[in-house]
């Protein structure tokens, strides 16, 4: 039997498929869970957003430059030699330079220490009508507008209110945090199996850090979680409503127009999660895939094909990398295996490393998160028995396919030809894949999960606190 907390249009059991389900009332444990998450998550996400200094999350200055370009209604960037970007106000670069030391993309960053008061006092005026310069932001120049909606709103709002560049970055982080918070809340309300696993994912310190950054990661992780939750729900009930299809289409656009490698999340409903089959509209997931694929082909190939430059000097062009792989068919499989066997621990460390991957890893956060994950897997879920073995294998296959695709993309874009180690892999890239992986692992166990839920809240709260303390010690004298 499925829980009665699946939402206003979800049947509560296989026997009740023909009738509307119960609503998610305020008294239901799922509603209490959502309210508790909104309170705790808001505090944690905003703490990361406001405590971490501006420009001290990965590629944050590049995201600011791209968001400002889009906010100025310039959708397509410009390439000049081995640089891609656009003409922007000099004040944006002047604000970022003291924090970063150099605006060069994809370089190792030092940790600039100063007092909290001095950092707060930094206030570079946004001189939109002042001098402009060509600014290189090759890492973000091709990104579609959909991933920058909160940032664009922050730039418009902050500009109208006379905010400094630094405070516009902070405002964009706050808007991002609120969007991510809402996406995870929607996923918690939607997901019929594995809410405790989703809560764990939503409260990971890296999730909170990404939510409180100026980039796209918070939206991608939150929208990916909701899309996966919707996929699990449809896989169990095999019934699509018009509203569910519209929601899935919107979430697919948010996820895949920002990070194409997560597109297979749409395929989760293709295999039934149980023996319950009603209105098996198998063609809807492929249709959801076709729409963003066409949009991406138009965006990347039609509008942005000429903007690509190598991420680092001396890197081979993507065409050269593909030609090498075609001529050496075992090169990538070897690199895939060696990378995760040799560097798997280092990749895991990056999930608890903050700033420009130069703060941490925070050992306390690692151990506390590991204990919380153990509780999630031990607790299981009373509805996990509805997940057929075929669906679990299917979810695992999709996750592995996304990992392989993501690694291949990094091999082509960021790795020297013939290397046995793929460069650029970071733990945060795996967060949109975590929910289907965890749900597939859940065992069927009917038990009261209230104690486990409180344990997850406490342990993850402590993990976030340890991370925030480490960040404060790193950046502030």
* Residue range 130-159, pLDDT digits in tens: 888 998 888 888 888 888 999 999 999 999
For residues 403 and 408, give the distance between their C-alpha atoms in angstroms, rounded to a whole number: 9
Q: For the whole prediction, is pTM greater than 0.95?
A: no
- Helix/strand/coil (H/E/C) assignment for every residue in 76-140: CCEEECCEEEEEEEHHHHHHHHHHHCCCCCCCCCCCCCECHHHHHHCCCECCCCCCEEEEECCCC
- Cα 440 to Cα 111, 283, 293, 397, 403, distances in angstroms: 40, 23, 27, 11, 16
Show the CA angle centred on residue 281, arms to residues 278 and 287, nearest 5°. Answer: 155
First to last CA, the chain: 56
Return the exposure string of 313-334: e unless at least 16 CB atoms fall within 10 Å of the residue's CB, then b: eebbeeeebeebbeeeeebbee
Contact between 430 and 353 (Cβ < 8 Å)? no
Torsion, Cα of 39, 40, 43, 44 (10° steps): -150
Contacts of residue 265, Cβ cutoff 8 Å, sequence gap at least 6: 224, 227, 228, 231, 252, 255, 398, 402, 432, 436
User: What is the DSSP secondary-structure string of 255-283?
Assistant: HHTT-GGGGGGGGGGGS-SSS--SS--TT
For residues 294 and 280, give the distance between their C-alpha atoms in angstroms, rounded to a whole number: 25
For residues 44 and 46, give the distance between their C-alpha atoms in angstroms, rounded to a whole number: 6
Identify the pLDDT of residue 280. 54
> How many residues appear in the chain?
477
Give domain limits for the chain. 24-475
Contact between 332 and 411 (Cβ < 8 Å)? yes
Contacts of residue 30, Cβ cutoff 8 Å, sequence gap at least 6: 3, 5, 24, 188, 189, 195
pLDDT beneath 70, residues of the chain: 1-29, 273-283, 299-314
Q: For tokens 């460069």, what's the residue?
A: 423
For residues 186 and 311, give the distance between their C-alpha atoms in angstroms, rounded to a whole number: 36
* Residue range 272-330, pLDDT digits in tens: 766 554 445 666 777 777 777 777 777 666 666 666 666 666 677 777 788 888 888 88
User: What is the DSSP secondary-structure string of 303-321?
Assistant: ISGGG---SSTTPPPHHHH
Identify the pLDDT of residue 73. 92
For residues 56 and 111, give the distance between their C-alpha atoms in angstroms, rounded to a whole number: 9
Contacts of residue 181, Cβ cutoff 8 Å, sequence gap at least 6: 38, 41, 42, 45, 211, 222
| Residue 300 per-residue DSSP state | I
Identify the pLDDT of residue 107. 81
For residues 247 and 269, give the distance between their C-alpha atoms in angstroms, rounded to a whole number: 14
User: DSSP H helical segments within 317-418, as ranges?
Assistant: 318-327, 331-350, 363-379, 389-414
Identify the pLDDT of residue 26. 43
């Amino acid at each position: 039997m499925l829980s009665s907390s699946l939402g206003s249009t979800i049947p509560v059991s296989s026997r009740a498929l023909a009738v509307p389900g119960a609503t998610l009332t305020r008294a239901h444990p799922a509603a209490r869970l959502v309210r508790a998450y909104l309170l705790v998550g808001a505090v944690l996400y905003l703490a990361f957003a406001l405590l971490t200094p501006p420009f001290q999350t990965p590629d944050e200055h590049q995201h600011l430059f791209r968001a400002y370009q889009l906010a100025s209604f310039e959708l397509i960037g410009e390439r000049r030699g081995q640089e891609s970007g656009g003409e922007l106000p000099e004040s944006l670069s002047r604000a970022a330079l003291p924090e970063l030391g150099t605006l060069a993309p994809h370089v190792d960053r030092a940790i600039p220490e100063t007092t909290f008061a001095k950092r707060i006092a930094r206030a570079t005026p946004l001189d939109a009508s002042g001098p402009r310069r060509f600014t290189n932001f090759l890492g973000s120049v091709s990104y579609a507008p959909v991933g920058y909606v909160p940032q664009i709103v922050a730039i418009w709002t902050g500009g109208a209110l006379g905010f400094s560049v630094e405070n516009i970055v902070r405002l964009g982080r706050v808007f991002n945090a609120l969007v991510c918070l809402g996406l995870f809340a929607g996923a918690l309300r939607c997901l019929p199996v594995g809410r405790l696993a989703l809560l764990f994912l939503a409260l990971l310190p890296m999730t909170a850090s990404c939510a409180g950054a100026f980039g796209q990661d918070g939206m991608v992780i939150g929208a990916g979680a909701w899309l996966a939750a919707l996929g699990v729900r449809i896989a169990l009930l095999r019934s699509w409503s018009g509203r569910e299809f519209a929601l899935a289409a919107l979430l697919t656009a948010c996820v895949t127009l920002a990070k194409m490698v997560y597109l297979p999340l749409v395929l989760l409903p293709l295999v039934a999660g149980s023996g319950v089959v009603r209105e098996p509209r198998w063609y809807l997931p492929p249709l959801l895939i076709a729409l963003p694929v066409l949009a991406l082909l138009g965006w990347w190939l039609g509008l942005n094909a000429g903007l690509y430059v190598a991420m680092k000097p001396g890197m081979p062009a993507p065409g050269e990398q593909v030609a090498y792989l075609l001529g050496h068919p075992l090169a990538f499989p070897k690199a895939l295996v060696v990378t995760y066997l040799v560097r798997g621990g280092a990749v895991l460390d990056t999930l608890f490393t903050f700033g420009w991957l130069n703060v941490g890893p925070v050992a306390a956060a690692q151990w506390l998160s590991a204990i919380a994950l153990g509780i999630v897997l031990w607790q299981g879920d009373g509805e996990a028995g509805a997940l057929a073995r075929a669906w679990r294998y299917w979810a695992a296959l999709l996750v592995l396919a996304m990992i392989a695709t993501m690694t291949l993309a990094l091999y082509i874009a960021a790795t020297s030809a013939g290397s046995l180690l793929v460069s650029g892999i970071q733990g945060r890239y795996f967060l949109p894949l975590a929910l289907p992986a965890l749900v597939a692992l859940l065992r069927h166990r009917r038990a009261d999960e209230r104690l486990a839920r409180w344990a997850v809240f406490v342990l993850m709260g402590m993990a976030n606190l340890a991370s925030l303390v480490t960040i404060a010690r790193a950046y502030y004298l």
